[in-house]
Amino acid sequence: MIAQRQVWGETLLELGATDERIVVVDGDLANSTKADLFAAKYPDRFVEVGIAEQNMVGIAFGLSTLGYRPWLSTFGVFLTHRALDSVRMLVSQTRAPVRLAGAYGGLLNGSSGKTHQDIEDLTIMRAMPSMTVLAPADEYEMRAAVRWAAEYDGPVYLRIARDPVSPVFDAGTVWTDWSPRMLRDGDDLTIVSTGVQTTRCAEAAELLAARGVHARLVHVPMLKPLDSGHLVDLLGTSRVFTVEEHTKIGGLGGLVSEIVAECPTRPTVTRLGLADGWSESGPDSFLLDKYGLSAARIADQITQRMLER
């Protein structure tokens, strides 16, 4: 298992060898985000801005006007909150090819607690016109996402998890698109997930199967743009559960609900994720369990909701 941040750093290092357009603009966190790999090899294309995230975005945008394809290296929470006004005007409104690498996405950030947990990033970035929003499931999909984003001529937000997860894809998987992917079939209910939460949903589906409940699992690696028709086709069952390491407000659950609301054959959607409140510091296992995102807690919540029907 390799952490997504490590994969991000390694992939940029690989791409940097042939793609001179790649620059990394860091906010004094390169040794956390793993941009330090790139910095060590390509110091001339590594810009250390310091602790000033708005300025990072402005500088990256300025560089993009000269043909560079800058990657921003900091914690996602600072990009999607502190620097949001700069992202909005200079990146989203100009459709600039700036890549927002949101490290330490979600709840699990090494016990830093709620100040650094970016649990609203998908809601916020999804609301930005022209923004592509990517949340890969594991190390393999992350590598492909970085490579795809490097070639894409527009703004990208990439959610990057801090800690390693058990892969759901095979090392050799080759993807031809970023539309929702069905990872497992089942006819009792459909779980829709995104980001590394998908790996825990895969485990939850196993637990459910052991109880005789057969869940289909759909992973959404790119929340925007999204082929909603394809997603509707994949929903398949009359019960849909969205699961995300993110607030239940406006993220994946919001996205699926918006699509389903306009769908004639309307399945029932239950959103699982963080309630409307802040979390806390703690080890990953503690947080996942307390906030209902561990495989066991997901399986239990789904079982409970299915019985309530």
Partner 1 sequence: MDVRTASTEELEELVRRARWLVVSTVAASGAGHIGGPLSQMDLLLALYFNHLRIDPGEPLWDDRDRFVLSKGHTAIGLYTALALRGYFDEAELATFDHGNSRLQGHPDMRLLPGVDSSTGSLGQGLSVGVGMALGARMQGRNFHTWVLLGDGELEEGMVWEAAFAAHRFGLDNLTAIVDRNRLQQYGWPPTSDSHFDRRDPWDGKDVPSIFRGFGWRVIEIDGHDHQQIDRALGTATAARASTGQPTVIVAETVKGKGISFTEGTYKWHNGIATPEQLATARVELGIKDTVEALR
What phi and psi, each to the nearest 5 degrees, are found at residue 49? -85, -25
Residue 58 or 136 having the CB closest to partner 1: 58
Residue 69 or 248 having the CB closest to partner 1: 69
Does position 21 interact with partner 1 (CB under 8 A)? The reply is no
Q: Which one of 47, 135, 215, 260 is in contact with partner 1 (CB under 8 A)? A: 47
Please give the Cα distance from 193 to 135 (Å, whole number).
10
8 A C-beta contact, residue 202 and residue 217: yes
Please give the Cα distance from 137 to 135 (Å, whole number).
7
First to last CA, the chain: 38
**4: CB partners within 8 A, 6+ apart:** 136, 138, 139, 142, 160, 161, 162, 165, 196
Q: Which one of 1, 17, 40, 89 is in contact with partner 1 (CB under 8 A)? A: 89
Residue 59 or 160 having the CB closest to partner 1: 59
Least distance CB 131 / partner 1 (angstroms): 15
Does position 81 interact with partner 1 (CB under 8 A)? The reply is no
Q: Which one of 17, 31, 43, 93 is in contact with partner 1 (CB under 8 A)? A: 93
Least distance CB 23 / partner 1 (angstroms): 8
Residue 25 or 243 having the CB closest to partner 1: 25
Least distance CB 22 / partner 1 (angstroms): 12
Q: Please choose, from the candidates 36, 42, 32, the residue with its C-alpha nearest in 3D space to the C-alpha of residue 3.
A: 32
Q: Which one of 5, 34, 45, 184 is in contact with partner 1 (CB under 8 A)? A: 45
Residue 52 or 207 having the CB closest to partner 1: 52
Interface stretch with partner 1, choices 56-64, 177-185, 280-288, 295-303 (CB under 8 A): 56-64
For the chain, how big is the Rg over CA atoms in Å?
A: 19
Residues 114-143 that bind partner 1 (CB under 8 A): none
Least distance CB 30 / partner 1 (angstroms): 16
What phi and psi, each to the nearest 5 degrees, are found at residue 207? -60, -40
Residue 98 or 272 having the CB closest to partner 1: 98
**151: CB partners within 8 A, 6+ apart:** none
**194: CB partners within 8 A, 6+ apart:** 122, 135, 137, 219, 220, 221, 223, 244, 251, 252
Site residue total, partner 1 (CB under 8 A): 28
8 A C-beta contact, residue 180 and residue 210: no
Chain residues that interact with partner 1, rule: CB under 8 A: 23, 44-45, 47, 49-50, 52, 54-55, 57-66, 68, 85-86, 88-90, 93-95
